[in-house]
Amino acid sequence: MRVLVVGAGPLGSLMAARLHEAGQDVTVLARGQRLQDIREHGIVLESGIDGPRTVTRVKAVESLQPDDRYDLVMVVMRKNQAEQILPVLVANRKTPTILFMMNNFAGFQPLVEALGEERVMVGFPLPGGERIGHVMRIVPIDRMHRYTIPIGEPDGLIRDRTREVAAVLRTMEGYKVEIRQDMDAWLKYHVAALMPALVPAVYASGTSVERMARTRDAVVLAVRGMREAFRALEKAGVPMSPRKFRILYWIPEPLLVFLVRRKLKGEAMKISGEGHLKAAREEVESLTQEFRDFVRRNGIATPVIDSMSKWYEPGTPPLPDGSSAIPLRWQGLIVTVLALALIVVLIIIL
């Protein structure tokens, strides 16, 4: 398949390299210094922090012309950047399918109105990365760490072209592909899981996931804000997607705080979380505002999230490093322990 990848950041570069390695006819659209880097060095990927590097040579262009023909255009970039290139995509009528791989809370209507529903597909790129000069540092992908990419149609139907695009993406080493019929809900919950509470908690920790991991108050606020965001979406009638998020309601707060703090100490969070937040503050602020506008239109209160919005403002003092003044809510853990004890007693008796 002849594929154009629009966006030569960490994930666009990664997917272009993996598709090329799988035998697809891949071209990358890049501009300025990034275009020069690709032409001079190729796509240089570094697995993890100071991990092994690979170099993949792919074709690179600086524009998409109205008469250029591709079977698939993959737009792998921040939403605000994708909106800026929309007129260029509209002008090209030779490409039948344009797959937008990006965060998106507000929905697909602007894309559909501009390009036509028959040309638009949506998905989300994984796992995460950051740019260091001409090197793209990527969260490790190997046989032990495979990632599942969700893709789907704006209307939720599954068509022949849906399966064809999924088949192409499945050729990438280290990836699985899941065709979903609820991509709008999936993307809304992905934003809700990160932007309204977790992101300002990182900013409240000096944009350092390492500092956040040792600052319990930041993690407590992030956990409470995330749960609040999920409940807000459910109250507004957005079905939870994926359903596995529901377990976050049932894990007692002290245990969930412990698990999040442990996760923050990992290499993946430092690369994909901290690096992205430093480079994409405009995007995360825009997505958070879309979430806040949505819950306000639906008359839903989000007091925890509202209290955290101050850390989006430049100059707001961070939380004290290592602070743990906010009391944990132990009720859920006590109930869980008692329930487990009761189950053990019943097993012994019966």
List, for residues 73-105, the tens digit of each pLDDT value.
Answer: 999 999 989 999 999 999 999 999 999 999 999
What number is the average pLDDT over the span 327-339?
67
Residue 146 has pLDDT above 70, yes or no: yes
Residue 286 has pLDDT above 60, yes or no: yes
pLDDT at residue 19 in the model: 97
- As a dihedral over the C-alpha atoms of residue 240, residue 274, residue 28, residue 44, rounded to 10 degrees, the angle is -130
Phi, psi torsion values for 119, nearest 5 degrees: -105, -15
What number is the average pLDDT over the span 14-36?
96
* Torsion sign, CA atoms 200, 201, 202, 205: positive
Residue 150 has pLDDT above 80, yes or no: yes
Please state, in angstroms and rounded to a whole number, the distance separating the CA atoms of residues 282 and 286. Answer: 6
Beta-bridge partner residues of 59: 27
Q: Are 139 and 271 in contact (CB under 8 A)?
A: yes
Helices of type H across the chain: 10-21, 32-41, 79-84, 86-91, 109-115, 160-169, 183-194, 198-203, 209-213, 216-235, 247-250, 253-264, 267-268, 275-279, 281-297, 303-308, 331-349
Q: Are 82 and 51 in contact (CB under 8 A)?
A: no
List domains and CATH numbers for the chain: 2-181 (3.40.50.720), 187-335 (1.10.1040)
Please state, in angstroms and rounded to a whole number, the distance separating the CA atoms of residues 347 and 345. Answer: 5
- pLDDT band of 149, cuts 50, 70, 90: very high
Q: Is the pTM of this model over 0.75?
A: yes
Please state, in angstroms and rounded to a whole number, the distance separating the CA atoms of residues 300 and 302. Answer: 7
- pLDDT band of 50, cuts 50, 70, 90: confident
User: In terms of C-beta density within 10 A (0-12 exposed, 13-18 middle, 19 or more buried), how is residue 241 classed?
Assistant: buried
Residue among 82, 129, 114 nearest 101 (CA) = 82
